[in-house]
Structure 1
Amino acid sequence: MTTSDVRPGTGTTTAGPLDRARSDPAYAAYLLLRVGFTVLPIVMGLDKFTNLLTDWEGYLAPWIVDISPFTAHQTMLIVGVIEIVAGVAVAVKPRYAAYVVALWLAGIIVNLVTYSGFYDIALRDFGLLLGALTLGRLAAVYDAPWHRRATG
């Protein structure tokens, strides 16, 4: 099965997702990226509230703290909410949400490259940005678009 086996306008075939992933490598890549960009932002967003993985405030560039009307802690809580929403959005509609995640990652990269010592993490996030863009392109094939209602 290939991308040409997709029913036009639906982004789906009659095979189950796992069966389809076994026979269509592009669909398997789409599923992996969709799951990854759903779960990881949600986990990272939730961790902004617990700081179990790291002290997230330490990654916030001082100039962002200076322009934010909130404390560094409050800013990171807002970041956490945004990440959770982004993960849920990818689960619901990756065709569009993947590009929102890519823009979000671009913002994180700007934050990291303007704060000395985090270039390695910025490079990792650039790789994630490329993955989000790839998800968006694959979702153009496998995720049906939202259609406007006909006005009559």
Structure 2
Amino acid sequence: MTTKAAHTPALARDRKAEHQAFLLLRTVFTVAPIVFGLDKFTNLLVDWTIYLAPVATAIVPLPAQTIMYVVGVVEVIAGIAVAVRPRFGSLLVAVWLLGIIVNLLVLGGFYDVALRDFGLLVGALALNRLSPGTGIFR
């Protein structure tokens, strides 16, 4: 027969591991959107407009680079939201990634990137589940 005291070290380890996973995911989902968002203005990492489906510029009558500027601002805001309110920010990032995935599937040819972004979406949802607080905005 086990006692409650026997479970305390294991529970403490589990909570510590859960907290470490939370910190790791929050850090990544804060830094990555901010870095990629800022890069939309410089295109140092890649020419981001190649990932924009032509239907986007047909729907929003703006040049592709201007749309990328808007995307960059949203990504920076999403990263800051994860840092400040991880439960809400993680959902914002997940929805944003879903939009990116849909764009990539419509564009075609970037299915590997869409699959990678699906993995990131799952990570953002995991961050949401690990985030402390009971309300969506905590």
Whether TM-score is above 0.5 comes out as yes
Letter of the structure 1 residue corresponding to residue 111 of structure 2? Y
Does 2:53 match 1:61? yes
Secondary structure at the aligned position of 2:107 is classed as coil
Identity of aligned residues (%): 55
Unaligned segments of structure 2, at least 5 residues? 1-7
TM-score normalised according to structure 1 size: 0.78
Counterpart check, 1:95 vs 2:87? yes
Superposition TM-score, scaled by structure 2 size: 0.86
Structure 1 counterpart of 2:111, from 102, 119, 124: 119
Please tell me the root mean square deviation across aligned C-alpha atoms, in Å.
Answer: 2.2
Give the superposition deviation at 1:69.
2.5
> Which of the pair is proportionally richer in helix?
2
Contact kept, 8 Å, 1:94 with 1:143, in 2: the verdict is no
Superposition deviation, residue 85 in structure 1: 0.3
> Which of 37, 51, 59 is 2:43 aligned to?
51
Shift of 1:144: 6.4
Q: Which runs of 5+ in 1 are unaligned?
A: 6-19, 148-152
| Other structure's SS at 1:69 match | coil
Shift of 1:143: 4.4
